[in-house]
Amino acid sequence: MSKVVECQLCKKKCQLVEGQKGDCRVRINLDEKLQTLVYGNPCSVHVDPIEKKPLFHVLPATGAFSIATAGCNLHCKFCQNWQISQRSAEETHNYDLPPEKVVSEALRNGCKSIAYTYSDPVIFYEYMYDTSDIAHRKGLLNLMITAGFIEEKPLLDLCPMIDAANVDFKGITEEYYEKMCGAELAPVQKAIVTMRKQNVWVELTNLIIPTWNDSEKDIQQLCRWVVDNVGPDVPLHFSRFWPRHQLKNLPPTPVETLSIAWEIAKKEGLNYAYVGNIPGHKGNSTFCPKDGKLLVKRIGYQVLENNIVNGKCKFCQSKIPGIWS
């Protein structure tokens, strides 16, 4: 009888017999050890503007060397990257890119950071961890774009390596997480709080999906949770949904809904609320919470004007939280 191993990376805690893969499709019990199949084998490699992550309070207008592997520990019905996230590593076309090479390629492309993104980097934890370590030594920032569905212990080990994270805060009810993502809300909320406590710069993204999480009550509740638990200075990005994957029957989120969400966030006390996936919306830009002046003018991912000098508002000198240099 071969030994059963338990993965302790996320709340699912998959128990695997010899040859069996976890729910993420990329962690497997082989030779009575839990092994990762995606170390050094990303299937997506791009240079993106950091605004695409979105991280609006981290080195604006710089490039982020972005990598992802196959697999994910969530199964969101609206996934925008389902072609890689809902596949195993045997099904995707992969690059041979060990950690040292990721860092050298990032530097060669003039990037200031490395983003672990597209699918959820939690499932390529070891690859992200080792790459982050080398990247730090070479003066690059590490950005984790995640759903935050990770256990406390691995997260605490990882936090010193990560400079900034955008956590996809998908909804405010357990029912939503269960039905739409095959996951749980509580561990995500815990991870957001832990990251903040560990001095990781955190921004949050809430994808608003018509009929699912677009009620004013849900948005208000979500904003209140953010203010009460991680503070009003954590930026919250409301993102427009486009019909994808298993939710092609729904329409894109109306612009008006996102504008209402943006107003609710400000009303609830959030200092930095944004609207994404609608280029030209006023909510693309950063405004000083003290004097209301335009700090960073953006259209989509493009930065047209930056009035933050040494991390302060150029006009009133008030400190703007984030990583600016």
Binding site for another protein (CB under 8 A): 3-9, 15, 17-20, 27-28, 30, 32-41, 89-90, 94, 96, 125-126, 129, 151, 153-154, 157
Q: Which residue has the tokens 């493009």?
A: 302
Q: How far apart are CA 191 and CA 189, in angstroms?
A: 5
CA-to-CA separations, 62 to 18, 53, 211, 293, 297, in angstroms, rounded: 45, 12, 36, 23, 15
Q: How far is the CB of 88 from another protein (least distance, A)?
A: 9
What is the smallest separation between the CB atom of 25 and another protein, expressed in angstroms?
12
Closer to another protein by CB, 9 or 230: give it. 9
Based on the number of CB atoms within 10 Å of its own CB, is 297 exposed (0-12), middle (13-18) or buried (19 or more)? middle
| CB 3, min distance to another protein, A | 5
E strand spans, 137-262: 141-146, 164-168, 201-208, 236-240
Q: Determine the Cα–Cα distance for residues 113 and 143; give it in Å rounded to an integer.
A: 7
Cβ of residue 193: shortest distance to another protein, in angstroms?
20
In DSSP terms, 145 is beta-bridged to: 166
Q: Which residues contact 213 (CB under 8 A, 6 or more apart)?
A: 170, 171, 172, 176, 206, 219
- In the bound state with another protein, the residue whose beta carbon lies nearer, of 102 and 295, is 102
Question: Based on CB atoms, which residue is closest to another protein, 45 or 323?
Answer: 45
Instruction: Please say which residue, 4 or 255, places its beta carbon nearer to another protein.
Output: 4
Q: Which residues neighbour 223 within 8 Å (Cβ) at sequence distance 6 or greater?
A: 236, 264, 265, 268, 269, 270
Q: Which is nearer to another protein, 70 or 234 (CB)?
A: 70
Minimum CB distance to another protein, residue 44 (Å): 16
The residue (of 15 and 318) whose beta carbon lies closer to another protein is: 15
Residue 90 or 178: the one with the smaller Cβ distance to another protein is 90
The residues, ordered by sequence, that sit 6+ positions from 139 with a Cβ below 8 Å of its Cβ are none
Q: Rounded to the nearest whole angstrom, what is the least distance from the CB of residue 91 to another protein in the complex? A: 8
C-beta of 25 vs 298, nearer to another protein: 25
CB 166 within 8 A of CB 205: yes
Chain position carrying tokens 């497997």: 28
> Is residue 3 within a helix (H) or strand (E), and if so which, with residue range?
none
How is residue 58 written in tokens?
């981290």
Q: How far is the CB of 130 from another protein (least distance, A)?
A: 10
CB of 321 to another protein, least distance (A): 31
